[in-house]
Amino acid sequence: MNAIDLRSDTMTRPTPAMRAAMAAAEVGDDYYKEDPTLNRLQERAAELLGFEAALFVPSGTMGNEIAIAIQVAPGELVLTDERSHVIEYELAGMAAHAGAIPSVVRTEDGKLTADAIRGAVKPAAFNRPRVALVVLENTHNLAGGTVSDVAEMQAAITAAHELGLRVHVDGARLWNAAVALGVEPRALVAGADTVMVTLSKGLCCPVGSLLAGSAELVARARRQRQLFGGGMRQAGILAAAGLVALDSMIPRLAEDHAHARLLTDAMTGARGARVAPARTNIAVATLEAGNAPEIAAALKARGVLGTAMDRVTLRLVTHHDVSRADCLRAAAILGEVLA
């Protein structure tokens, strides 16, 4: 029997509808802005997120790094949660590419609140580095797919702007947050300066993320993407899958959320495990014994693939390519392995 792969929602493969759309896509050279399918995807994403423009980028990481590079000068600070993706998983690109200095805040559930932002920004002084940008992550990956709601997002964005800071939203899984809350994605990010969203995770596309912002910022982002060697040619092949994703793959994320809940329910009450009910598609258990790698290995031996994020954190991510039956089986195995 095939393993139940809960390592990441990046395990999703393009759907038959995506492959058909990719095969039929009308394409052109994006250096000349002449790929009609790519142009449509960028317009569609901008509209969905409530921004003037959007730019297709090869990865979420490049989208975040472009957003930082165009909004932060060397020696300026980027304020973010200490477990955010831009801190943990981007090779300190903000320092390497932009000369930016991370200023990290310990948060509850990965939520960088308005109060936390106000508390972290010290009064300006001639010899004090300036905070230039706040990065908010929603949903929050390492905190376990936690969701910041519209009021929390809007309060944080307003607080940052009142302090003269720009705001970038790492919305790799913004779609999951919107579905969990039953709100439009644009409601969560209204007023932010830039937003990155990903197509290649729960939405099943093979490649791609988008960076949205004002027309002026997106023009700068296009230059920065070029500097990173990320210029596109006939990317309409990829954009065709992206259009299918935005048109049809977002509402079904609710199924992934219900499946993740089956997993956290199965782990709740296990001795030495701290588990919060999954809010979206990420189930996380904190294992006090510090044996997450051993538990992951025991699960693997029984056909369930998960990730030990560190010694204490076991992460399981649900997605389109694992069924309810798969998740019920994984839940039963989890219960046994943790018992």
Ligand X SMILES: *Cc1c(COP(=O)(O)O)cnc(C)c1O
Binding site for ligand X (CB under 6 A): 59-61, 64, 85, 137, 141, 170, 172, 198, 200, 209
Shortest distance, CB of residue 87 to ligand X, whole angstroms? 11
- Contact assessment for residue 68 and residue 168, using Cβ atoms and an 8 Å cutoff: yes
Nearer to ligand X, 166 or 201 (CB): 201
Tokens of 271: 């001795």
Shortest distance, CB of residue 279 to ligand X, whole angstroms? 14
Shortest distance, CB of residue 216 to ligand X, whole angstroms? 24
- At residue 168, what are phi and psi to the nearest 5 degrees? -115, 135
Shortest distance, CB of residue 272 to ligand X, whole angstroms? 27
Shortest distance, CB of residue 204 to ligand X, whole angstroms? 13
Shortest distance, CB of residue 324 to ligand X, whole angstroms? 24
The residue number with the shortest CB distance to ligand X is 60
**In the sheet that 313-317 helps form, which strands lie side by side, from edge to edge?**
273-275, 282-287, 313-317, 307-308
Shortest distance, CB of residue 141 to ligand X, whole angstroms? 4
Nearer to ligand X, 217 or 282 (CB): 282
Nearer to ligand X, 60 or 242 (CB): 60
What secondary structure, in 3-state letters, does the chain show? CCCEECCCHHHCCCCHHHHHHHHHCCCCCHHHCCCHHHHHHHHHHHHHHCCCEEEEECCHHHHHHHHHHCCCCCCCEEEEECCCHHHHCCCCHHHHHHCCEEEEECCCCCCCCHHHHHHHCCCCCCCCCCEEEEEEECCECCCCCECCCHHHHHHHHHHHHHCCCEEEEEECCHHHHHHHHCCCHHHHHCCCCEEEEECCCCCCCCCCEEEEECHHHHHHHHHHHHHCCCCCCCCHHHHHHHHHHHHHHCCCHHHHHHHHHHHHHHHCCCCCEEECCCCCCEEEEEECCCCHHHHHHHHHHCCEECEECCCCEEEEECCCCCCHHHHHHHHHHHHHHHC
Shortest distance, CB of residue 317 to ligand X, whole angstroms? 10
Nearer to ligand X, 170 or 326 (CB): 170
Tokens of 114: 């308005």
Nearer to ligand X, 319 or 333 (CB): 319
Nearer to ligand X, 197 or 266 (CB): 197
Shortest distance, CB of residue 281 to ligand X, whole angstroms? 11
Nearer to ligand X, 171 or 337 (CB): 171
Nearer to ligand X, 35 or 90 (CB): 90
Tokens of 232: 């596109």
Distances (CA, A) of 308 to 267, 274, 284, 291, 313: 15, 15, 10, 9, 6
Nearer to ligand X, 260 or 266 (CB): 260
